[in-house]
Each structure stands twice: as C-alpha cells, then as structure tokens.
Structure 1
Amino acid sequence: MTTSPPITSTRLPKIHLDKTLVGRLEALASATMRRSPEVGERLLTEIARAKLVAPEKLRDDIVTIGSEVTYRNLSTDRVRTVVVAYPEDADIDQQRISVLTPVGVALLGLSAGATISWVTRDDETRVLEVLEVKPPAPL
C-alpha cells in the first residue's frame, strides 16, 4: 500500500470558505474521485477543515472561486498570477485554473501571506506562498 506524502510538515494555514459554495465543491470533489482521487480527497479534506462563513463575511483577501491570486512557488521562485475557477470556466491560456487541479485546491481558502505545500500531478511536493489576492469581479 502506498501512502501519500504529508500535506505539510508544519501546521496547515487557516482557511475560510464561502459556505454557499460548499455543496457544489463537495459535488465536484465526489465527481472527480474516479479519475483523480488525490485531488478529490484533498478538496474534501480542505472543505472539512475550513471555517465556513457567509459570503458577505468573507474577507476580500481570501481565495475563493473567481479570485485573482498572485503566488510564488517557493521551490522554483516563480511568481504566477491566476484566477481560481470552476472546471467549466478554466482556461489556461487566460490564466484561469480549475479548482480541481492540485494547485487550485491548495490555493482555495488561503489569504495573502499564507504558505502551503501541494503535490503536483507528477508526484512532486511543492510549497507556495500567496502574495496577493484580489476579490472576484462583480457580475
């Protein structure tokens, strides 16, 4: 039996989620279990440990669906800016990453200054630091 590497060797950062998104996120995690069980399990774990808040109480610097996030990959020192999106809205050419990717799950619920480790699809553990979060654009 293989075991997954620990998410991080230190305490996990606090995360906050918009409680109105949880049902859809859980459904997405469950639906992805067959083709990508590691991502589905990680998303369910993150949902379970999150502090759930009303959307109007979610701070602007918390990563949620639609947030623009600038982060640094501490393994490579590369800085990237992405928008976290639902799978149907993801478009790598427009820097819109799916919440059902390893880095999308890792970013969800974090705030500026937080660091977290995540495992790539190639089974490499990376650490990222959130540098800046911009709230979702109003509809």
Structure 2
Amino acid sequence: MTVNEFNPRKKKPMIVISAVDESRLGGLAATVSTRMPDLSGELLAELERAKIIPHHSMPEKIVRMGSTLEYTSDDSQKRQVTLVYPGDADIALGKISILAPIGTAMIGLSQVQSIEWAARDGRRHLLRVITVSNEVEAVN
C-alpha cells in the first residue's frame, strides 16, 4: 500500500496490552499531556481500544514495552527495533520511543498484523509486523 492508497475509514486491528503496560503507559500519557497533547492523545486512544489482560497471560508474540520486532513499512525494507520508554530511546541503536507515532502504532500488535499510522509530518504509512521477540521479565 502506498501513501496515496491510505484509507482513513479502515478499521484498526485488534490489539492486546498487559495491565502492567496499560497502567504505566496511561501514567506516561498523563505526564506528557500538556507538553505533547497530540502524542499523549494518540497513546491514550490506543490504550482505550486495546483488550487489557493480566501481564502473566500475555501471548508471546505480542508487541509490548521492551519487545524487539522486525517489521516492514511502505518501502518493503525489513527493520528491527525495540519499543522503549522515551528516556531509553536511541534511533541509532534501533530503540523506538512509545511516544513516537510509529511506536504508538506498534504497541499491542501481534506477529503478522498490519496498521496504518501517520507520521508527525502527516504522511500516512503502513507497518506490518513480521516477528516479535520478548524477553522474560519480572514485574514489580
């Protein structure tokens, strides 16, 4: 799909987010709401439409905070990135912030799902998740 083929009426795919990520990301969105209202609003919209499940019940191949995923975009090139909190973001190391439009689009997707998302310049893109890898982590 090219930018010109974007269909704004296309329904977004179902996403799944752990209760732990939902709580932490809701707090993050609230914290940045006055400085970055658009980004905060997008993140909150994703959290509102997500199916929230207990952290211990999260399927292995769902993008969550800390996931490393391989995806393709409009140019069909494969990229590998890790979804992180803003303070850990480093594009040179492939660490994408949850507050970047593409990061917000990734959260909750499962392997092989696709989503259309808008970059900060308003251009539309299609992202398709190829693989998802999650390390086992302890949750406090």
Letter in structure 2 aligned against 1:17: I
Q: Distance in 1 between matches of 2:17 and 2:98?
A: 13
In structure 2, the CA distance between the partners of 1:80 and 1:115, relative to structure 1 (3 Å rule), is: same
Q: Distance in 1 between matches of 2:115 and 2:127?
A: 6
Letter in structure 2 aligned against 1:29: A
Unaligned runs of 5+ in 1: 1-5
Matching residue of 1:111 = 110
**TM-score normalised by L of structure 1:** 0.87
Letter in structure 2 aligned against 1:77: S
For residues 7-48 of structure 1, give each alpha carbon's deviation from its aligned partner in whole angstroms, at most 9, with x where no partner exists: 843221110011012222012112223333222111101100
Q: Distance in 1 between matches of 2:135 and 2:28?
A: 20
| Corresponding pairs, count | 133
Of all paired residues, the percent bearing the same amino acid is 32
1:113–1:129: 8 Å Cα contact kept in structure 2?
yes
SS at match of 2:30: helix
Letter in structure 2 aligned against 1:84: L
Q: Distance in 2 between matches of 1:42 and 1:27?
A: 14
SS at match of 2:109: coil
Unaligned runs of 5+ in 2: 1-5
2:21–2:64: 8 Å Cα contact kept in structure 1?
no
1:8–1:116: 8 Å Cα contact kept in structure 2?
no
Letter in structure 2 aligned against 1:39: L
Matching residue of 2:135 = 136
Matching residue of 1:3 = none
Letter in structure 1 aligned against 2:71: Y
Letter in structure 1 aligned against 2:120: R
Letter in structure 2 aligned against 1:33: S
2:112–2:129: 8 Å Cα contact kept in structure 1?
yes
1:70–1:132: 8 Å Cα contact kept in structure 2?
yes
Letter in structure 2 aligned against 1:72: T
